[in-house]
Structure 1
Amino acid sequence: MTDPQKPTAVLVHGAFAESSSWDDVIVGLQAEGYRVIAVANPLRSVASDSAYLKRVVDSIPGPVVLVGHSWGGMLISQAAVGSPNVTGLVYVAAFAPEAGESAADLSEGGSLGPTLTAIALEDGSNDVYVDPAKYHHQFCADVPDAQAAILAATQRPIRDAGLGEPASQDEPAWKHLPSWFLFGDQDLNIPVSSHRSMAARAGAVRTEEVPGASHVVGVSHPDKAIAIVLEALRAG
């Protein structure tokens, strides 16, 4: 049973994933009495997705810890600005952009691009997703074949324009809020050097680099994700 006196964990999935990617983390947090909301991320643009997330956050009574995976990090960095109930930010293999930086900037050197395939949209942009045949190696090399096949089949596409869209020119929330970083050293989407530099410039309370972990470190090592989110929740 959840405890209404405790902070709420708001989990934000990234591109090429969906809310169920947090399933094991949700179970662990709920077992400790925390309320959890796994947001259905629209995956349309930095500005509109962040605005949507901010409305979710502002609707929650009491303190909130925002947890972002991958593209979700772009959003928590922006949505927490001006939301006084947010007490901390957790980046799980996630982007933590400086003002004006894009996901494309921060993933330079990664190998995602050649694995993407597109669906044309009416406005001239595209929805992009990872070719299912390449998904296991690219996205989640450290999970079993059967689990990777499910992740590939349930992935949600992102509008391509969003990947190159710069973060707001406002100061990101990680400059004012405590932050925690968890990532794997075998992440093929976001280079480990980028993870390390983002954590360092944010002055992270704690940075944990998991040997052998892929881009889905929260799926392959849910115990690590649960522990670092609990630390953030208890700090608030």
Structure 2
Amino acid sequence: MTLTNAKVVSIETLTPFVTKLCLQPKKIAPFKAGQYLQVVMKDDDKRPFSIANSPEAAEPLELHIGATPENAYAYEVLEAARQTGSLTLEVGLGEAFSREADAPMLLIAGGTGYSYAKSILHHTLAVEPNRELIMYWGAKTREDLYDYEALQALSEFNKRFSFVPVVECPDNGWEGHTGWVHRAVLEDYDDLSAFHIYTAGRFEMAAAVRDEFTPKGAKIENLFGDAFAYI
């Protein structure tokens, strides 16, 4: 873990509820794909966010923050970034980072959990170009899948990567999966024993992945996600 101050490089609105925050650390702050950082608000107040970029493109650090004024935990971090132009960070935390393996990789992300999956996705494509990689990303609406076009283009360019979008509230033109993202995986696969599975989203989603995937063959030792340490 590295403690460093970081300058705010940019603040960009991705959706009405999601903001991309880019931070330039003042010293080298190494991390592994899938790790997170903590914004140090006070000595006893540290707020975690997944790092969205891969270690191969480590600077500036990219965060996807879901925040509204009603969600003070995240909103106050954005307000501090806007008002002060810098934040104090602890970088390189978490044990749910990407592992190299021969097994195909399944990434499951809910909402801004995509930031965790994005880091692992681009790292894996860089260092394991022949590994089969499948990403399921779920959100409430199509508009909430803010990187949809980029992921579709990437899947068309790289035949080892498949992108499966899932929405809870589809519009009339939607032709893809609907409902909960982990249920879409269960609809598509009867046997999950071959996969290394990485997941990020609400704790309830992680619990459902563990409880509903293991009867389909998923191995506990091949399930990765920071939430599993708390559920």
When the two structures are superposed, what TM-score results if normalisation uses the length of structure 1? 0.29
Higher helix proportion: 1
Higher relative contact order (CA 8 A, sep 6+): 1
Larger Rg computed on CA atoms: 2
When the two structures are superposed, what TM-score results if normalisation uses the length of structure 2? 0.30
